[in-house]
């Protein structure tokens, strides 16, 4: 089993989900008392969020690259950046380290294509929905067509993520609003919707919408376990597509959450 390096804390709410999902997947594969080999750095999110808000991605990349080097020095054989938005600085991390970065968008795209979808909606922070680092990778590397909500809903979702979910708050009104966004994207032709912020899974949207959704937290964790155990980037098929209508396994909501 290879050692995974988790670069987390952005926010710690979703990093905790990563840790549990990875260990549950290893136990399911190997049985008994097996658990994942993990080293972790969990950063203070407040300074990182301030750099995001200021648009200082170069400094954010420098900071996270330094943390990734700490993971490598601690024995990590691959890096897992436990956030969608901060893949904006994935290149800085890859340049600064010698071990592979397991990219969240690649893990997500692999499952979308395996599900036979080509046009997908994308939910996340404004940075993820509006900038090219994520949408462009899905489009250019994986031949996916990506739809996003309108400007009002992008701003609303951004506020829900930072003002509620990153603080551990899950509100019914916000759950209903985000479920509406999912349904709106489906009405525009999306064959599924990417939960492109690692906190969105906390909303457990399957209670309100039967549109297939791709839980990036679960998909990234599954891909990491496949890499650690098999040297492959393909996780188990079907495990992180949440669709009550399609009968897929519900991994879009975390147990005991």
- For 172-215, give the secondary structure using H, E and C: HHHHHHHHHHHHHHHHCCCCCEEECCCCHHHHCHHHCCCCCEEE
**C-alpha to C-alpha distance for 48 and 9, rounded to whole angstroms:** 10
Active-site pick, 79, 125, 128, 197: 197
Active-site pick, 15, 83, 125, 128: 83
Q: Name the nearest CA neighbour of 48 among 75, 102, 8.
A: 8
Q: Does 82 qualify as catalytic in the annotation?
A: no
Tokens of 120: 């997908």
**C-alpha to C-alpha distance for 120 and 135, rounded to whole angstroms:** 10
Q: For residue 250, what are the contacts with CB-CB under 8 A and spacing of at least 6?
A: 206, 242, 244
**C-alpha to C-alpha distance for 114 and 58, rounded to whole angstroms:** 35
- 256 Rama class: left (phi>0) / alpha (psi -120 to 50) / beta: left
Q: Name the nearest CA neighbour of 167 among 208, 202, 216.
A: 202
Q: For residue 45, what are the contacts with CB-CB under 8 A and spacing of at least 6?
A: 9, 10, 11, 12, 166
**C-alpha to C-alpha distance for 42 and 251, rounded to whole angstroms:** 24
Q: Does 83 qualify as catalytic in the annotation?
A: yes
As a residue count, the chain comes to: 257
Q: In 10 A of CB 83, how many CB atoms?
A: 29
For the annotated catalytic residues, the residue numbers are: 83, 197
């Amino acid at each position: 089993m290879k050692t995974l390096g988790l670069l987390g804390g952005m926010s710690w709410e979703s990093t905790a989900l990563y840790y549990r999902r990875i260990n549950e997947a290893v136990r399911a594969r190997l049985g008994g008392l097996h658990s994942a080999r993990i080293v972790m750095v969990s950063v203070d999110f407040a300074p990182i969020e301030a750099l995001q808000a200021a648009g200082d991605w170069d400094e954010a990349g420098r900071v996270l690259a330094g943390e990734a080097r700490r993971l490598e020095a601690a024995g990590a054989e691959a890096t897992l950046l436990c956030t969608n938005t901060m893949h904006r600085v994935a290149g800085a991390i890859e340049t600064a380290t010698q071990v592979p970065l397991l990219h969240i968008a690649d893990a997500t795209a692999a499952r979308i294509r395996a599900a036979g979808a080509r046009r997908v909606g994308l939910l996340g922070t404004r940075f993820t929905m509006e900038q090219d680092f994520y949408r462009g990778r899905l489009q250019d590397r994986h031949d996916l067509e990506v739809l996003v909500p309108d400007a009002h809903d992008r701003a609303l979702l951004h506020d829900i993520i930072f003002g509620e979910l990153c603080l551990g708050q899950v509100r019914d009104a916000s759950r209903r609003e985000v479920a509406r966004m999912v349904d709106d994207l489906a009405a525009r032709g999306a064959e599924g919707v990417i939960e492109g912020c690692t906190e969105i899974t906390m909303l457990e949207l399957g209670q309100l919408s039967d549109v297939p959704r791709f839980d990036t937290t679960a998909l990234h964790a599954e891909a990491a376990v496949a890499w650690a155990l098999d040297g492959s980037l393909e996780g188990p098929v079907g495990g992180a597509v949440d669709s009550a209508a399609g009968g897929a396994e519900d991994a879009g909501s975390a147990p005991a959450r």
